[in-house]
Amino acid sequence: MTSFSGFQRKSKYAFDIDKYLELAAKAVEDNVKQVQSPVTVVGDVHGQFYDLIELFRVGGEIPNTNYLFLGDYVDRGAFSVETITYLMLLKLRFPLRITLLRGNHETRQITQVYGFYTECIRKYGNPTVWQLFTDLFDYLPIGAIIDDRIFCVHAGLSPTIQHIGDIKDIKRFQEIPHEGPFADLMWSDPDTDNSGFTLSARGAGYMFGQDVVNRFLHENNMSQIYRAHQLCMEGYQTLFDGKFCTVWSAPNYCYRFENLASILELDEKLNMYFNIYSDAPENERAKEIENSQFGGRNDDNFFI
């Protein structure tokens, strides 16, 4: 693990980031975090910092609102450093008001391809900040349960996980593997056309049908599954008789898809409301940065 001490700060973006990352790494939570309602569930935000601020305008500021983020804080957008730094500071300041789960982009390999590594080099002049953050990602929980009724994860289910207790046994303090139950939770997607598990076109994880969802909910005495991971043009999607919900919280994804975003608000009785919003007006600056800094990048697999 990268040392948190001795980090030389010479960039205009610099502050005591090593100090705060060391504190965050010490605040270790269980693999599956217990969360109480009322709570607002957030999907992918992908480095779109101005849209994150818009999200808090729409949903309410912490600590007045409790939040559960489902992962994918970095890559794609122009402000991954600002996005993950702000969220980590909120976690340190209000640890009982915000939960941050791990997504498939919170890894060393993926962030070297889809923007976060390059952004850290551009803003700090060396990879130290990237190393510190990716070390920290290993500490993030990989699932959550709301009021013992709703299971939350970044992506989906695994053929090797029948019970939530199996997730609690995963050794998560590592890079997300290429295969196995940990990878499946980070990469898998629902399939409305087929039953059971089938291989995913993503090259990691599986596709799974309604029968898989129903069986998992029954075995674990859950009522719904909330996840993120897939772009939804309307900001959200509900499948399988409302038992499986996707939340997408990056409006106008990559500053080009013109999609809406949503956050899923749950009250004390678990009544749900998708609060829909569009991208923040400040994003004109982000588009300029995206075009100038990353215009020549050929990583146009937007659905990783």
Of 11-25, 53-67, 70-84, 260-274, the one with minimum mean pLDDT is 11-25
Residue with tokens 């989906």: 156
Catalytic entry in 105, 163, 178, 218: 105
pLDDT digits (tens, 9 = 90+) for 215-242: 999 999 999 999 999 999 999 999 999 9
Domain containing 53 equals: 31-293
Instruction: Please report whether residue 24 resides in a domain.
Output: no
Instruction: Please report whether residue 143 resides in a domain.
Output: yes
Would you state the pLDDT for residue 282?
A: 86
Q: In this model, does residue 8 exceed pLDDT 50? A: no
pLDDT digits (tens, 9 = 90+) for 240-257: 999 999 999 999 999 999
List Cα–Cα distances, 2 to 25, 134, 180, 288, in angstroms.
Answer: 12, 9, 26, 33
Closest to 304 measured CA to CA, from 74, 119, 29 = 74
> What span, in angstroms and rounded, lies between the C-alpha atoms of 288 and 304?
23
CATH value at residue 224: 3.60.21.10
Name the band, by pLDDT with cuts 50, 70 and 90, for residue 66: very high
Q: In this model, does residue 155 exceed pLDDT 70? A: yes
Contact 275, 263 (CB under 8 A): yes
Instruction: Please report whether residue 25 resides in a domain.
Output: no
Residues 6+ apart with CB under 8 A from 222: 145, 149, 150, 151, 164, 216
Instruction: Please report whether residue 267 resides in a domain.
Output: yes
Of 172-186, 267-281, 289-303, the one with minimum mean pLDDT is 289-303
> What span, in angstroms and rounded, lies between the C-alpha atoms of 276 and 58?
9
Contact 122, 113 (CB under 8 A): no
Q: In this model, does residue 272 exceed pLDDT 90? A: yes
Instruction: Please report whether residue 17 resides in a domain.
Output: no
- How many structural domains are present in the chain? 1
Average the pLDDT over 44-63 and give the result.
97
pLDDT digits (tens, 9 = 90+) for 91-146: 999 999 999 999 999 999 999 999 999 999 999 999 999 999 999 999 999 999 99
Q: For residue 65, which phi and psi values (nearest 5 degrees)?
A: -125, 135
Average the pLDDT over 13-33 and give the result.
76
Instruction: Please report whether residue 3 resides in a domain.
Output: no
> What span, in angstroms and rounded, lies between the C-alpha atoms of 158 and 186?
10
Instruction: Please report whether residue 246 resides in a domain.
Output: yes
Name the band, by pLDDT with cuts 50, 70 and 90, for residue 27: confident
Contact 150, 223 (CB under 8 A): yes
163 is an active site residue: no
Would you state the pLDDT for residue 296?
A: 44
> What span, in angstroms and rounded, lies between the C-alpha atoms of 167 and 249?
25
pTM value is 0.91
Instruction: Please report whether residue 300 resides in a domain.
Output: no
Would you state the pLDDT for residue 11?
A: 56
